[in-house]
Structure 1
Amino acid sequence: MTYNVLIVEDDPMVAMINEQYVRKNKNFNVSGSCRNGQEAIAFLEEHKVDLVILDVFMPFMDGVETLKKIREGKFNTEVIMVTAANDTATLENTMHLGVIDYLIKPFAYERFQVALEKFAAHASALKEANVLDQNSVDNIISNTKKLSPKDYPKGIQEKTLNLILSCLECKKGWTTGDCIAETVGLSSVTIRHYMNYLVQEGQVTESINYETGGRPSMLYTLKKG
């Protein structure tokens, strides 16, 4: 399935980068690009959009106000915030309004793709849930099939695990634990703990890079097949 995306960004260069990032994912199509919230609401009134990539700081109507208008208008679309705002108040406001992810500029291409995949998993779970029961509700909320806590060892959380796996899928090759940590916003110690688990489970292959000019580093990639 292909999802239609609207990019709302007043900086032409950032808007172009966001558009390029979206187009690199075969499951997404850019339906349009708007310079402010007023244009975005007008566009949504005329076009079906599955996902809005929404900046916070814009003229005429900022991203938070635009998000409120989207919810008030009951537009059937999800929203990913993309912003330079790193204050907790903005994050809290947008989370209360139901954003599916929140990206802080400057963000890595891989982290952007993780956000797209998070939306796709959520949309797919909703589509597959013909009859709601507790399992299907858990599936929708967590974006993937939820396992009971006993299925994971201590210190392994399902949402974090899925975020790391999505990151590895975007890398499409060998990568370091530090690179994963920077992309998903977790500590290197936490990533090492999760990678050890994934290697033990046979989902990830590890190797040692001796050509660092210093201390060797571990490399990871998703196991094929």
Structure 2
Amino acid sequence: MYRVVIVEDDPMVCLLDRTFTEKDSRFRVVQTFQDGRAALEWLTQNPADLLVLDVYMPLLTGVELLHALRAQSIPVDAIMVTAANSTAMVDELLKLGVVDYLVKPFTVERFQQALDTFCRHREAVAGEAVSQDELDKLFAPPESGDHSAPKGLQENTLKLIRACLQTAPDQGLPSEAISRQTGLSVVTIRRYVNYLVERGEAASTVNYDTGGRPCRLYRLQS
């Protein structure tokens, strides 16, 4: 069983991370921390296989934590779960060897995909040598062009949301507007549009010019 440490200063996100992780029997959450410095102190004394890690945290950021762990040759992998999505940030974290990168808000399906990716990496390097077939499973892109809905999502609902996004303005639509146009709940909309974003069919941006709380806009990729 893989030992997991969650480093996240938002209690609600931390709870989601823990709940989603422990749904998979291959993983056990052994510690949670709200700042990177406490996590570093613990990780220098205790073994762990995987970090579920935010970027923006007090005392020591996720990036600083990973740099410190790599400098001490502590062999723990990391899945980033964060709102930080600038190209420079993503590039730096990928160079630090993160297994996967999830941008908040995320779905349980996407979180499970990240856990599966970690397991494939660990299983591939478990022996003394890695075959080409095992390497291809890790690095080759999927060849399927299937656009059908995965388990847990309905194809008719996907089609309805795609049709709504096709008529969206260039800047995109918030989930509340898609909800009004389709008659679906906002929770359902967010689940489906996040899936479309993960597939690369849709894109999301944050609109800060709302006069209040920023909102996320969704549009189909051109």
- Counterpart residue identity of residue 130, structure 1: E
Range with bigger deviation, 110-119 or 40-49 = 40-49
Equivalent of 1:131 in 121, 129, 135: 129
Structure 1 CA distance for aligned equivalents of residues 154 and 123 of structure 2 = 28
Aligned pair 1:88/2:83, yes or no? no
Displacement of 1:141: 6.9
Q: Taking structure 1 as the reference length, what is the TM-score of the superposition? A: 0.66
Structure 1 CA distance for aligned equivalents of residues 105 and 26 of structure 2 = 24
Structure 2 CA distance for aligned equivalents of residues 110 and 184 of structure 1 = 10
Matches within 5 A, 1:30-179: 30-127=29-126, 129-132=127-130, 135=132, 139-140=134-135, 142-143=137-138, 157-158=141-142, 161=144, 168=150, 171=151, 173=152, 175-176=154-155, 178=158, 179=192
- Counterpart residue identity of residue 9, structure 2: D
Q: Taking structure 2 as the reference length, what is the TM-score of the superposition? A: 0.66
Equivalent in the alignment of 1:199: none
Structure 2 CA distance for aligned equivalents of residues 132 and 117 of structure 1 = 18
| Percent identity of equivalent pairs | 35
Q: Contact between 1:55 and 1:82, CA under 8 Å: does it hold in 2?
A: yes
Q: Contact between 1:111 and 1:183, CA under 8 Å: does it hold in 2?
A: no
Structure 2 CA distance for aligned equivalents of residues 141 and 99 of structure 1 = 19
Structure 2 CA distance for aligned equivalents of residues 142 and 100 of structure 1 = 14
- Counterpart residue identity of residue 57, structure 1: Y
Change (3 A) 1:8 1:38: same
Deviations 1:60-117 (A, max 9, x none): 1111111111111111111111111121111011011111101101111110110001
Show structure 1 runs of 5+ residues with no match: 147-156, 189-225
Q: Contact between 2:124 and 2:130, CA under 8 Å: does it hold in 1?
A: no
Equivalent in the alignment of 1:22: 21
- Counterpart residue identity of residue 143, structure 1: L
| Paired residue secondary structure (2:9) | coil
